[in-house]
């Protein structure tokens, strides 16, 4: 069985780490925000005098992180658009080519220079990477083509198109931004294990019983003891029905505020909490051992 190396947000919530707590850890730079990228092609490189130098072309599927200056935007908007990231898992980098792959010369908008480099000789914690650019016809050339299409030869007589685009490049590099959302965040297990929070929630073994039970945990354990053969989806519907009753069978302390199709809202003291349906399913799996 492969050892788990990172947790997703729903797994963190199932272990008692709310999105609010995660935001606090990010604000304090106690954990690194990571996102899983499915197969993408990158230009991997480094920085010299704050300018990007390309090393190689590579395919990559794995965790990436963002530059620290983007974290406030991620926390404020819940998402961030990026053209560059940092690759975090060297063993998942597959080199495609080390030669410069474009007709567009350097320096250009995205790549200042190119230096073929053997990445196996670099022992970095993370590798700067630019999402693979495409070569498109230069913007000014596109504009001139459009104007000529509208005005034809008459317009050419009154405007020097050739002089207008004489110094403009025929081709330009274009990189499309990728959107990363906080709801898709991943956190390294090793980072959480270093925090006092880890010992409180027993994060080293995410499938083990939770030591510090919350009101919602106790309610789920009660359900599991009474209905041990029910599936998580059935337990969800039971809570949904129980929540609507004037006299509740399971939620005797009336901690449930609302249960709908995708999430439930519950209170503990003066705090109001939400639990996504998928997180509820994970929590049932974790607490099932406690109910035995």
Q: What is the pTM of this model?
A: 0.62
**3-state class (DSSP) for residue 133:** coil
pLDDT reported for residue 209: 38
pLDDT reported for residue 155: 53
Axis-axis angle for helices 215-226, 232-243 (nearest 10):
110
Q: How far apart are the first and last CA of the chain?
A: 24
Sign of the C-alpha dihedral computed for residues 179, 185, 187 and 192 taken in this order: positive
What CA–CA distance (Å, rounded) separates 275 from 254? 16
Scanning the structure block, which residue is given the tokens 């809202």?
265
Are residues 281 and 253 in contact, defined by beta-carbon separation less than 8 angstroms? no
pLDDT reported for residue 167: 57
Tokens of 161: 């198109």
pLDDT reported for residue 6: 87
- Spatial neighbors of 217 by CB under 8 A, at least 6 apart, are 210, 283, 287, 290
Tens of pLDDT, residues 232-283: 999 999 999 999 888 899 988 889 989 998 888 888 776 778 888 888 888 8
Task: Determine if the peptide bond prior to 107 is cis (ω within 30°).
Answer: yes
Are residues 215 and 253 in contact, defined by beta-carbon separation less than 8 angstroms? yes
Q: Which residues of the chain have pLDDT under 50?
A: 1, 166, 196-211
Tokens of 209: 């019983």
* HSE, side-chain direction, 13 A CA sphere, residue 129: 33
pLDDT reported for residue 30: 86
Beta strands (DSSP E) in 90-247 are 93-97, 113-114, 127-131, 134-137, 171-174, 178-181, 185-188
Tokens of 69: 């200056």
């Amino acid at each position: 069985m492969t050892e788990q190396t990172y947790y997703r947000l729903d797994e963190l919530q199932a272990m008692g780490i709310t999105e609010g707590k995660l935001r606090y850890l990010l604000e304090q730079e106690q954990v690194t925000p990571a996102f899983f990228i499915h197969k993408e092609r990158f230009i991997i490189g480094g920085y010299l005098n704050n300018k990007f130098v390309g090393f190689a072309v590579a395919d990559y599927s794995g965790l990436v992180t963002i530059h620290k200056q983007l974290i406030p935007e991620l926390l404020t908007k819940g998402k961030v658009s990026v053209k560059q990231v940092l690759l975090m898992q060297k063993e998942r980098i597959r080199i495609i080519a080390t030669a410069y792959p474009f007709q567009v010369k350097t320096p250009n908008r995205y790549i200042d220079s190119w230096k073929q480099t053997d990445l196996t000789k670099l022992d970095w914690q993370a590798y700067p990477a630019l999402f693979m650019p495409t070569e498109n016809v230069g913007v000014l050339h596109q504009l001139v083509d459009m104007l000529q299409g509208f005005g034809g030869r008459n317009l050419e007589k009154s405007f020097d198109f050739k002089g207008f685009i004489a110094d403009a490049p025929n081709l330009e590099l274009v990189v499309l931004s990728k959107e990363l959302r906080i709801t898709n965040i991943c956190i390294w297990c090793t980072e959480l294990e270093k925090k006092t929070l880890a010992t409180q929630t027993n994060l080293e073994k995410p499938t083990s019983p939770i030591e510090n039970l919350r009101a919602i945990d106790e309610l789920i354990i009660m359900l599991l003891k009474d209905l041990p053969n029910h599936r998580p989806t059935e337990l969800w519907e039971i809570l949904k029905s129980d929540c609507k009753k004037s006299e509740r069978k399971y939620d005797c302390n009336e901690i449930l505020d609302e249960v709908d199709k995708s999430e439930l809202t519950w209170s503990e003291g003066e705090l109001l909490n939400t639990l996504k349906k998928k997180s509820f399913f994970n929590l049932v799996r974790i607490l099932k051992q406690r109910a035995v």
